[in-house]
Amino acid sequence: MEETTSTIKTIGVMTSGGDAPGMNPFIRSVVRACYAFGIKCIGVEGGYEGLIHGKFREMGVRDVSGILQRGGTILQTARSKEFREPAGQREAIRQINNAGIDALVVAGGDGSLNGAQKLVAKGIPVVGVPASIDNDIYGTDTCIGVDTALNTIVDAIDKIRDTASSHNRAFLIETMGRQSGYQATQAGIVTGAELVLIPEHKTPVEEVAAAIEEAYRRGKSHAIIVVAEGYKPQALDLAAHLEAMDIGFSTRVTILGHIQRGGKPTAFDRLIAQRFGVSAVEFLLAGLTGVMTGLRGNEIVPVPIEEVVTNTKKLSERFIEMTRILAK
């Protein structure tokens, strides 16, 4: 974390990596905070790719009117292989300087924050904002998009249970989460799943089969297994194994996929996105750079980006334990 004397007159705002519900409220808050503080705001379209190619547009309060309730991001987003290379970073800095951008606010996940750290190392003032539906970013209790995605997952599981009960079936429902089982664990707890399978914890196929068979023996009309996409074997392969075993229920798979990224952001995501956005502008104007806005308890605090990208957020063992207790 660095602290400098602020001479900022123009702030750039961008969204990067995978989209997350709440990115539009975040953009709105940065634009309106800049307006309130008498700062010019430049929108960067298409993440780091747009930064490299100078896709900039000045943004005022009218440009962010009516976007609070919209999913996605009006600035669009992308992952950039070009920015990972020194030549791409040099070109991005050249474009930043040519546009007269004094500082950046970057919303995204681990890859986006790593990119922000590279710019900070080259002298560009940056504040990062955590946006990841997986809630896998170190240094913050939650991220933009987590709450909306969880509500989408829960709504889908509730609907799948209706059809599962009608046909006496076991459903394997795959959620996003290549490295983190946060969403799968939370969804499993609040929907009463028989079992939750996550990359952080190895569960043998035999244990999965036993959980489904136990539900059948107890007279249940269905079984719900929530599977994070990072769990091995993946849901489709696991279903094939289970179909070859005598477990009482027939097995089906639903992969929720990108539906988890879409939809109107919840009230919580709209609020946290705007708290992050306003705080990011305030941090820059206070002379802070190389930090991420983090929610700790009920406070927004500056967390050094270097600390964020060099640590791994661990899923609470308590949540894993709860899924087992509540499935008994």
**Domain for residue 319, yes or no?**
no
Residue 3 phi, psi dihedral angles, 5° rounding: -130, 125
Q: Place 7 in a pLDDT band, splitting at 50, 70 and 90.
A: confident
Q: Report the share of the chain in percent with pLDDT over 90.
A: 90
**Domain for residue 48, yes or no?**
yes
Torsion angle defined by CA atoms of residues 261, 58, 128 and 118, in that order, rounded to the nearest 10 degrees: 110
273 touches 68 (CB < 8 A): no
> Do 52 and 73 belong to one domain?
yes
> Do 269 and 257 belong to one domain?
no
For residue 232, the 8-state DSSP code is S
**Domain for residue 314, yes or no?**
no
State pLDDT tens for residues 124-148.
Answer: 999 999 999 999 999 999 999 999 9
State pLDDT tens for residues 34-47.
Answer: 999 999 999 999 99
For residue 5, is pLDDT > 80? no
Give this prediction's pTM.
0.94
Structural domains in the chain (count) = 2
**Domain for residue 302, yes or no?**
yes
Predicted pLDDT of residue 79: 86
Domain that holds residue 177: 149-261
**Domain for residue 244, yes or no?**
yes
State pLDDT tens for residues 266-307.
Answer: 999 999 999 999 999 999 999 999 999 999 999 999 999 999
Structure tokens at 300: 């927004």
Which of the residues are catalytic? 134
> Do 21 and 112 belong to one domain?
yes
